[in-house]
Chains A and B, each alone.
Chain A
Amino acid sequence: MSVLEARALTYRTEDRPLVEDASFRLEPGELTMLIGPNGSGKSTLLRLALGLLAPDAGEALIDGANVRRLSPTARARKAAYLPQTRPLAWPMPVRDVIALGRFAYGAAPGRLSAEDAAAVERAIAACRLAGFEDRAADTLSGGELARVHLARALAAETPLLVADEPVAALDPRYQHEVAQLFAAAAHAGRAVLTVVHDLTLAARYADRLIWMRDGRIVADGSVAETMTAERLADVFGIDAEIAHSGSRVSLTVTGPAR
């Protein structure tokens, strides 16, 4: 059974569809990246898939159960969600922020069961945050904060991890660090779905790409299968050169499509 199955998800505002007839499946152990130009409906599709937004048509199933019928707690135990990062309301210490990932298990900062505390420690180790535990969140760099948010999501130890632009506005080094952490999380057995804007990063780390344009999924497959010059021109309106070396695909963007 797929970890997540989206069936013909559709969501419209009054005048236009934001997501139209979107279907896909996520399998454990795969890092799937959702790419598409601004306004193509990526964030809306994530929220629909997680059941945070009610679709106008279609349904999303997590482990075979319709997400809209799961309680918030039951859903959060199946799927961890990293929305586009917003500043924390209060400068809480790193350990307390990560502890919030255990909320669905009844935990709270300063009130963790042995199991919760162990999960938090594993997440801290996985995101290489040892030594940062007592730092206030507002003293961290962007890259450190991105790792804290990822650790918070990993601490829930869910079979599914969904993230919306987790590497946006990070320096290249941090982008690659965070992307590697996502890849590691996937290869440890999770299904991971993340929106990414940087196409080179997507080509480098994704096991699978889902391409969106105008609210529709226009392609779904491995990087080698789907990353073509025609598709880049069609979806993103850019001219690019694609080079294959072994299983690795690299692209060079030469300019906007003529």
Chain B
Amino acid sequence: MTIRANALLTVALIGAILLALLLGSVPLSPLRVVSALGLQGNPGDILVVWQIRMPRALAAAVVGAALGMSGAALQGLLRNPLAEPGILGVSATAALFATFVLFFGLAGAGPLILPLAAIAGALAATLVVAIAALRTRSAVTLILVGIGLSSFSAALMALLMNLAPNPFTLADMINWTLGTVANRSFADLAYAAPFLAVGFGTLLAARRGLAALALGEEAAEGVGLDLKRQRLAVILGAGLATGAAVSLAGAIGFVGIVAPHLVRPFVGYDPARLLVPSALLGALVLVLADIGVRLLPTDSELRLGVVAALIGAPIFVWIAARGRLVE
């Protein structure tokens, strides 16, 4: 069941990425796209396919995968289907650090300053939560720490926007908060890649413990789980993956809640086997949403985060109304 779900999602994801290469504001025939992929034909086509559409589609895919897997892992750790990278304050703090850099005009110092700031923010938030996790045994406390951190970051962000020196800075900040993968390059991807790789690797290594946690923390310790190490691994893994995702696309919500929910019945509700299909579905959703963003004939392009929320929030409400969300 799990293998079939993963295979199906992988095929769908590859299909969606190919579709993203075919579609765009410049009409290119499939034949021209294929030859551009092989670095043949019109240099303009090659530029469009390799420099614009490919990195953009891949960025949407890795961001969706990072958010989907982080959400699945945090839900397993906290035994709460409402958990997601946002709830631990990781996304908000990452976005805050990015906004801070924009506010003081530091982003001009180099193309890597902004992503570095986002990852630093995610790691700072992760560290605070990790310290709290080691001091307390309660998942509720952990969630409350996350909510507090998240609210504080949002307040500081609002303060920075409030004090924005000029409309351009404000527009930059808003872009960052709304979330987009437009104009991403292979360089941006390469910079995020090591953080994503370590994050994914840590989460996958810790996934067996998530299954044990389904029994409750006390019983999980009883079957031989090292609870402190498990919490630390999930929080660091989710923090790194989410930080890298925010550095690529800004704050994008709901993927981390919705993707795990939709695949959970297909993996027998096993929190361990949930990670990979959640990542695949998160990637698929964001690649498709980004295609939608590019095709919608609006004057100023819609932001991916806005579309993700427009699709994700109603699905979230629908799942919640079916009563599966709350224990």
Contact = CB atoms under 8 A, between A and B. Distances in A.
A185 to B, nearest CB: 16
A100 B226 contact: no
B327 A83 contact: no
B212 A92 contact: no
Interface in A84-114: 86-93, 96-97, 100-101, 103-104, 108-110
Contacts of A149: 219
A106 to B, nearest CB: 8
Determine which residue in A77, A91, A136 has the highest number of CB atoms from chain B within 10 A of its CB, and name it.
Answer: A91
Interface string B196-222: 000000000000100111111011011
A200 interface: no
Contacts of B224: 72-73, 75-77, 103-104
B327 A109 contact: no
B294 interface: no
B268 A103 contact: no
Determine which residue in A90, A93, A101 has the highest number of CB atoms from chain B within 10 A of its CB, and name it.
Answer: A90
Contacts of A104: 223-224
B327 A87 contact: yes
A100 B215 contact: yes
Contacts of A83: 216, 218-219, 222
B188 interface: no
Contact of A109 (B76, B225, B264, B270): B270
A92 B269 contact: yes
B79 interface: yes
B216 A76 contact: no
Q: Which of under 10, 10 to 19, 20 to 34, or 35 or more describes the interface residues of B?
A: 20 to 34
A62 to B, nearest CB: 13
B273 A103 contact: no
B219 A90 contact: no
Contact of A152 (B76, B215, B269, B272): B215
A91 B2 CA distance: 16
A174 B264 CA distance: 32
Contact of B219 (A81, A108, A109): A81
A217 interface: no
A76 B222 contact: yes
Contact of B208 (A88, A91, A103): A103
A52 B223 contact: no
12 contacts: A72-B226, A75-B224, A82-B222, A86-B219, A87-B327, A89-B79, A89-B80, A103-B208, A103-B225, A104-B224, A109-B211, A109-B270
The 10 A-B pairs with the shortest beta carbon distances in the complex, nearest first, are A76-B224, A81-B222, A104-B224, A89-B79, A90-B269, A83-B218, A103-B223, A86-B216, A73-B224, A108-B208
